[in-house]
C-alpha cells in the first residue's frame, strides 16, 4: 500500500477525499444535534428522519444519471467542481444561520442545503472511485482501492471527534464553517490531479463496451432471479438494513440527546468507539479461519438480532427510569463493541459467498443491483420511524423494527435455498482442497 501513495496523483485524490469526508462527517454529527436541539419534542424526530432520509434518497435516485455523465466527462473536473459548489453552499448555510430566522423557516433552508449537497455527493463519490484506473497502474489498483477504503474509518473517528468538540465548545456555526473550508481544501488538492493518457485510452476502450446503469440493473435482477439462494439472501439482508438503519441513525441519537439530555461528548464517544471497533474487528475477522459459511452467517445474524433486542430492551429500561442513564450508557458502549464484531463476522462470509457464487464476468453488474436494492430500503424505514417516535418515544419506535427483524432473522437462517447455496460453496471448495477453510 505504501507504493501507491508514492503516486502523486493518487495521493492528491486520497488527500482531497479524506479532508472532505472528515468535514462531511463532522457536519453530519453536528447537524443531527442541531436539529434535535432546535425542535426537541416538537417534531424533532420527524425532522431528524427527514434530513437523514432525503440525503440518502437523492443519492440513490441520481446514481443512474450521475454514472452516465461521469463516464463521458472529465472526472477531475467533476471532483473539484462539486467540492467548490459544496464549499460555497455551506458558506451560504452559515449566512442563513446568521439571519436569525424562525426555526420553522430555517429548517427548510437547511433541508435545501442537504439536497444540494447530496446531489453533488452523487457525482463526487462514483467519480472518485472510477478515476482510480486512470491514475494508477493496473497492478496497483487493488492497493489503491484498499487505501480508499480506509477513508470510511478515518472519517467516522476523526469527523465525529472534531464535530463533538466544535459543537460543544463553539456551536453549530463552527462545524458549518469547517465543513465549507474542508471542501475548498479538497478542491485545491484535486485540481492538480493529472490522468495518464495511456491509462485513459484503456479505460475509454472499456467504457465503450460497458452497459448502461439500467442495463446493468436489468441484467442483475435477471441473474439474481435465476439464482434463488442468492436472490433470497439479497432480500433478507436488504430487510435487515431496513430494520437496523432507522434505530441507529434516528432512535438511538434521539433518545440520548432529546429524551435523556446527553452531552455531545457522550454521543460522540459512542460513535467513535463503534468506528474503532469496526476497524479492529475487520482485522480480527480477516485473520481467522471460519470452517462453515452457513454456520458463520447463522451465528453472526443471530447474535446481531440478540444485540439489537438488547439495545431496544435497554432503551425501554432507561426511558421508563428502571435503570439510570449512566448504566444505560455503559451498556450502549458494550453493545456497540459487540455489534461491530458480529456485523463484521457476518459481512465477511456474505461477501465471500457472493464472490464465489457469482460469475466473475458479471460480478460488477450483480453487485450494483444488490447495492441499489439495499440502499432503496434505508430511506424508507428512516422516514417511517420519525413520526412513530414523535407520537410515542424512541424505545417504542425501535421496538417496531425489533419485532420485524426477529421475523427477518428467522426467515434468513431457516431458508433452505440460502442454506443449500452456502453448503454448496463449502462442499465444492472442500472437494477442490481437502484442507479447505471457508475463509
Helix pair angle (8-39, 44-72), 10° resolution: 160
pLDDT over 90 at 144, yes or no: no
> In this predicted model, what pLDDT tens digit does every residue of 339-373 receive, in sequence order?
988 888 887 767 666 666 666 556 656 666 676 67
**pLDDT for position 436:** 46
Which domain CATH number covers 174? Answer: 1.20.1250.20
Q: How far apart are CA 291 and CA 297, in angstroms?
A: 11
Angle at the Cα of 70 (from 68 to 75), degrees rounded to 5? 170
Shared domain check, 276 and 337:
yes
Structural domain count of the chain = 2
> Looking at the structure, do residues 255 and 176 belong to the same domain, yes or no?
no
| Per-residue model confidence as pLDDT tens digits over 92-128 | 999 999 998 998 899 899 889 888 988 888 888 878 8
Residues 214, 221: Cα–Cα separation, whole Å: 11
Pair (312, 222) in one structural domain: yes
Locate 142 and state its grid cell: 487493488
Helix (H) or strand (E) holding 188: helix 172-191
Same domain, 170 and 282: no
Distance CA 377, CA 389 (A): 19
Q: What is the pLDDT of residues 37-78, one digit of tens each?
A: 988 888 888 998 988 888 888 877 776 677 667 767 788 898
171 and 45 inside one domain: yes
Residues 198 and 322 in one domain: no
Rounded CA separation 324/19 (Å): 39
Final residue in a domain of this structure, among 209, 225, 249: 209
The answer to whether 196 and 133 have CB atoms below 8 angstroms apart is: no
User: 394 and 260, same structural domain?
Assistant: yes
Domain end among 209, 231, 246? 209
Burial readout 183-193 (b: 16 or more C-beta within 10 A, e: otherwise): bbbbbbbbbeb
Query: Of 146, 181, 209, which closes a domain?
Result: 209
What's the first-to-final CA gap in the chain, in angstroms? Answer: 22
**Pair (229, 348) in one structural domain:** yes
- Please compute the mean of the pLDDT values over residues 401-429 and round it to a whole number: 83
Mean pLDDT to the nearest integer, 192-221: 64
The Cα diameter of the chain in Å comes to 71
Residue 173 domain boundaries: 1-209
Predicted confidence (pLDDT) per residue in 162-171, tens digit: 888 888 888 8
pLDDT band at 180 (very low <50, low <70, confident <90, very high): very high
What pTM does this model have?
0.82
Same domain assignment for residues 253 and 266: yes
Q: Are 147 and 163 in a shared domain?
A: yes
- Degrees (nearest 5) of the Cα angle 59, 19, 336? 70
**Backbone torsion region of residue 14, taken as left when φ is above 0, otherwise alpha when ψ lies between -120 and 50, otherwise beta:** alpha
What distance in Å separates the CA atoms of residue 16 and residue 192, rounded to the nearest whole number? 11
- C-alpha torsion sign, points 207, 370, 19, 83: positive
- Using one digit for the tens of pLDDT, what is the confidence trace for 247-279? 988 999 999 999 999 999 999 999 889 888 888
Same domain, 287 and 184: no
DSSP secondary structure string for all residues of 203-271: HHHHHHTPPPHHHHHHHHHHHHHHSHHHHHHHHHHHHHHHHHHHIIIIIHHHIIIIIS---HHHHHHHH
Claim to verify: residue 86 and residue 24 sit in the same structural domain: yes
pLDDT at residue 439, as a whole number: 44
Q: How many helices (H) and strands (E) does the chain have?
A: 18, 0
Amino acid at each position: 500500500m505504501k507504493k501507491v501513495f508514492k503516486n502523486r496523483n493518487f495521493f492528491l485524490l486520497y488527500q482531497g477525499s479524506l479532508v472532505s469526508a472528515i468535514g462531511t462527517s463532522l457536519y453530519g454529527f453536528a447537524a443531527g444535534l442541531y436539529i434535535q436541539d432546535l425542535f426537541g419534542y416538537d417534531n424533532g424526530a420527524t425532522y431528524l428522519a427527514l434530513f437523514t432520509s432525503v440525503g440518502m434518497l437523492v443519492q440513490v435516485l441520481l446514481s443512474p444519471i450521475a454514472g452516465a455523465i461521469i463516464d463521458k466527462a472529465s472526472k477531475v473536473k467533476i471532483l473539484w467542481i462539486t467540492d467548490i459548489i459544496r464549499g460555497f453552499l455551506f458558506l451560504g448555510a452559515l449566512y442563513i444561520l446568521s439571519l436569525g430566522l424562525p426555526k420553522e423557516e430555517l429548517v427548510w433552508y437547511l433541508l435545501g442545503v442537504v439536497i444540494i449537497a447530496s446531489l453533488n455527493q452523487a457525482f463526487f463519490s462514483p467519480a472518485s472511485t472510477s478515476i482510480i484506473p486512470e491514475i494508477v497502474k493496473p497492478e496497483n489498483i487493488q492497493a489503491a482501492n484498499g487505501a480508499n477504503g480506509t477513508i470510511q474509518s478515518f472519517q467516522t473517528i476523526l469527523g465525529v471527534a472534531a464535530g463533538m468538540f466544535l459543537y460543544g465548545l463553539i456551536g453549530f456555526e463552527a462545524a458549518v464553517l469547517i465543513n465549507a473550508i474542508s471542501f475548498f481544501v479538497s478542491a485545491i488538492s484535486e485540481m492538480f490531479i493529472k490522468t495518464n493518457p495511456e491509462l485513459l485510452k484503456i479505460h475509454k476502450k472499456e467504457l465503450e463496451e460497458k452497459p448502461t446503469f439500467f442495463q446493468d440493473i436489468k441484467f442483475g435482477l435477471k441473474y439474481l432471479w435465476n439464482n434463488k439462494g442468492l436472490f433470497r439472501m439479497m432480500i433478507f439482508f436488504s430487510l435487515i438494513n431496513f430494520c437496523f438503519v432507522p434505530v441507529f441513525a434516528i432512535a438511538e441519537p434521539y433518545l440520548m440527546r432529546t429524551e435523556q439530555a446527553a452531552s455531545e461528548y457522550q454521543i460522540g464517544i459512542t460513535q467513535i468507539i463503534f468506528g474503532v471497533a469496526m476497524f479492529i474487528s475487520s482485522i480480527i475477522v480477516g485473520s481467522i479461519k471460519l470452517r462453515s459459511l452457513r454456520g458463520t452467517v447463522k451465528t453472526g445474524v443471530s447474535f446481531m438480532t440478540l444485540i439489537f433486542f438488547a439495545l431496544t430492551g435497554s432503551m425501554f429500561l432507561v426511558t421508563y427510569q428502571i435503570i439510570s442513564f449512566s448504566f444505560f450508557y455503559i451498556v450502549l458502549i458494550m453493545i456497540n463493541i459487540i455489534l461491530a464484531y458480529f456485523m463484521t463476522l457476518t459481512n465477511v462470509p456474505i461477501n465471500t459467498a457472493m464472490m464465489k457464487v457469482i460469475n466473475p464476468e458479471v460480478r460488477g453488474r450483480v453487485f450494483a443491483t444488490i447495492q441499489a436494492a439495499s440502499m432503496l430500503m434505508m430511506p424508507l424505514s428512516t422516514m417511517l420511524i420519525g413520526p412513530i417516535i414523535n407520537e410515542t418515544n424512541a424505545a417504542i419506535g425501535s421496538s417496531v423494527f425489533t419485532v420485524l427483524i426477529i421475523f427477518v432473522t428467522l426467515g434468513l437462517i431457516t431458508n433452505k435455498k440460502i442454506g443449500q447455496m452456502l453448503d454448496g460453496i463449502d462442499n465444492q471448495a472442500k472437494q477442490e482442497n481437502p484442507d479447505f477453510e471457508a475463509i
